Amino acid sequence: MAWKEVEKGPEEIGRYWKPEKKGDAIEGNIYEFVDGDYGKQIDLYRGMTEDGEYDLCQLPAHADLKRTYRDLEVGDYIRVEVVEVKEPKGKAKYGKLIYKVLKDEDKALDFSEDDDFYE
């Protein structure tokens, strides 16, 4: 029998998105801006789970990513992608991630209190 290589699917993303390399990406609607341990962060709505719960994922509080927040609003559909990983400086353990954030206005959702999406 001949061996056949198995293709890799997308990485499973849990409650917290932890990008590590160039090309890592996530997309969804901004559900809310929350105050995390390291400042303002985004809870990203990625649809419904099999249990009928919201599939929310919190984006990291990286400085380069947070610089885009001024042009983003709740409900915006965004794609966040790592476009560069800079080498660590000094005693830093990890490199700095540089992001590209794209917004698709046609896929925006309204998470107002009167909407069924709102928890």
Inform me whether the pLDDT recorded for 119 exceeds 70. no
- Backbone φ and ψ for 98, nearest 5 degrees, come out as -110, 130
Provide the CATH topology of domain 25-107: OB fold (Dihydrolipoamide Acetyltransferase, E2P) (2.40.50)
Q: Hey, where are the domains in the chain?
A: 25-107
Contact at 8 Å (CB) between 77 and 107?
yes
| Whole-model pTM over 0.85 | no
- Cα separation, 23 vs 13, whole angstroms: 15
pLDDT tens per residue, range 23-78: 999 999 999 999 978 889 999 999 998 888 899 999 999 999 999 999 999 999 99
Indicate whether 107 pLDDT > 70: yes
Higher pLDDT, 89 or 70: 70
Tell me what the mean pLDDT of segment 101-111 comes to: 94
Amino acid letter, residue 41: Q
